[in-house]
Structure 1
Amino acid sequence: MNAEFTLVNHEFVQRLSATRRGARLARRLAVHQLDAWGVPYGSGLSDDVAVIVSELAANAVLHGAVPGRDFELRLLALSGTLRIEVSDARGEREPEVRPFRTGAESGFGLHLVGALATTWGVRDRVVGKTVWAECVTGPEEHQCQIVR
């Protein structure tokens, strides 16, 4: 069954504590907000967004945290595209895509983001940086796609 998600002109923004609890909450809020916009829990798009938000929020908490500063989750639905943004207060550290290492237990997050998102990148802010990822949400492409 092909689902069509019409996500146009929707925006969700939430600041969260730069803690593991804040990162978990970001994922839950993202899939809840998608459900409110008509993208059901457990759909391909919802599941892919949950992974992307989890990885970007975890990185914001682990590598981008500044004591006393929150991180921000933003979901922006434009015609045919869902943009996920996670902003933190540490601007001097770019996300690092590490090469795969045999037996490694971490370092795969941005590889997952790159595999699930149509495109992703980093941009500076006045304070800190924003790591963003985009997913196609059109009628025939209702989940994030692998593009390499």
Structure 2
Amino acid sequence: MNGKPPLPVRLIRATQPPAPTHHFTMRFSSTPRGARLARRLAGERLDAWGVAYGSEPHDALTLIVAELCANAVCHGRVPGRDFRLGLTVARVADGASVGVEVTDTRGEKLPAPAPAPIGPPEPPHDDDGGRGLVLVAALADDWGWDPRFDGPGKTVWATLGTVSP
């Protein structure tokens, strides 16, 4: 390695995203309680925006939020620093597209892309972790990370397209 940090998964988006119809952002403490509150509040917001509780998109999005927030707490935590959750719903031709962003302040621990699936993933059976980004990659239409330009850290994002409210 030449001492340079690895490049992000994606630096720019290929197309201009549609104008958001709903946007929510809030900071949470980098604790398990903060991650739990972020997941619950995301579920409430999605339901209020028309992505109904118990629907497949709602369940997928709350799981994506839960995994990204848990990663921010477990791997992106800097003592005394919060993480930020952002949700954006934008109308598209056949429904809506929902974006999830979780920003933490630890820039040296970067998410690794999920391996190309050859078969079902089999992390060691005695491991408690290692499945979060595999779930995010399976549920989201797209995901990646971007460096944070307004301070230290990174933003991990995922999108789920064509959600029918």
TM-score range, shorter chain: 0.7 to 0.9
TM-superposition CA deviations, 1:28-55 (whole Å, max 9, x none) = 0111001111111111111001110110
1:52/1:113 contact within 8 Å kept: yes
Aligned ranges for residues 86-101 of structure 1 at < 5 Å?
86-96=102-112, 97=114, 100-101=122-123
Q: Does residue 111 of the first structure (1) align with residue 134 of the second (2)?
A: yes
Structure 1: give runs of 5+ residues left out of the alignment. 1-7, 143-148
Decide which of 65, 81, 87 is 2:97's aligned counterpart.
81
1:121/1:132 contact within 8 Å kept: yes
2:145/2:157 contact within 8 Å kept: yes
Rounded to whole Å, the distance in 1 between the matches of 2:87 and 2:98 is: 7
Aligned ranges for residues 8-23 of structure 1 at < 5 Å?
8-23=20-35
Q: Which is worse superposed, 92-101 or 119-128? A: 92-101
TM-superposition CA deviations, 1:37-89 (whole Å, max 9, x none) = 11111111110011101100000000001111000000011123100000000
Rounded to whole Å, the distance in 2 between the matches of 1:35 and 1:138 is: 12
Deviation for aligned residue 1:105: 3.1
Q: Does residue 136 of the first structure (1) align with residue 161 of the second (2)?
A: yes
Summarize the Cα distance change of 1:116–1:74 in structure 2 as closer, same or farther, 3 Å threshold: same
**Identity, % of aligned positions:** 52
Summarize the Cα distance change of 1:17–1:138 in structure 2 as closer, same or farther, 3 Å threshold: closer
Structure number with greater Rg is 2
1:100/1:108 contact within 8 Å kept: no
Rounded to whole Å, the distance in 1 between the matches of 2:30 and 2:163 is: 33
> Normalization by structure 2: what TM-score?
0.75
2:98/2:163 contact within 8 Å kept: no
Rounded to whole Å, the distance in 1 between the matches of 2:82 and 2:124 is: 34
Rounded to whole Å, the distance in 2 between the matches of 1:131 and 1:61 is: 13
2:57/2:163 contact within 8 Å kept: no
Structure 2: give runs of 5+ residues left out of the alignment. 1-19, 116-120
Secondary structure of 2:99's counterpart equals: strand
TM-superposition CA deviations, 1:67-115 (whole Å, max 9, x none) = 1100000001112310000000001111134773241332000000000
Deviation for aligned residue 1:138: 4.4
